[in-house]
Structure 1
Amino acid sequence: MNLTPLIAVHATAAIAALLIGPVALWARRGPASTHRVRLHRAAGYAWVTLMLLTAFSALFIRDTQLPNIAGFTPIHLLIPLTLGSLFMAFRRLLQGNIAGHRQAMVSLYIGACVVAGGFTLLPQRYLGHLLWSQWLGLV
């Protein structure tokens, strides 16, 4: 698999979401100052936008080397999970269920950014190949 513009957009959005997510999660903890609320909202909206970009760009990325159906691999199952989790998080927020909103967002960050991000570092994945073979020369 080569670095195409689509993969570059997908990877950039995913890495940015990985980095911005903790800011959104941290900003809402502690005393509710106006500055922290604004930071939480700004970082949160940026993170949601990046997650949507990551999910939608993943729809068009195909991998025929891993087990797949029409180019869709098991990691593509995260697309509807991500979209559904974002929907539920905002639904809970609109219902005033702040704890449910927080739980959905933390779970989505851990599942979609940390765990799925970890899977991209497997040696047969594009980023994993770059890391382990080309940059570190280990595989």
Structure 2
Amino acid sequence: MLLKWSRLAGACGTAAALCAGVTSTAGADEGSPMHRVTYIVTVDHPAALNIYYRDVDPPTWADYSHNPYQFSPRDDVRLEPGTPWVHEATLADPDRWALVTVSAVGPATQTTNSLRCQLIVDGAEVDHAEGPRGALCSMRHW
């Protein structure tokens, strides 16, 4: 009987190890290379903006889905032409997680404004976008 329990315990331990491997984190593994991510936002005319950006790799997709704002800080800024908003982050998986969005705050004005974002990973621009009320820069299609 002891031998049966020993085998059952071993099988349960093996199953637990396999499950742990399946639910591993999407973030950085020990020793995985980290990437320097730079987010830049600019405007043509003075504007009040909300800027969301990804500062860290979420541990899992489920964690991110449950509360995306936990992993996407927001800066509320008033930006002037010639004075960009710049933020640097370090991410293990920028293909999956690097993201910056900018949106105008308040009602639309008669002044046409271009809000621009730029996403730079390890010194190379990987995405840019612009729009009159908002823009999204990401390596992934959301």
TM-score by length of 1: 0.25
- Larger relative contact order (Cα-Cα within 8 Å, sequence gap ≥ 6): 2
Q: Which structure has the greater CA radius of gyration?
A: 2
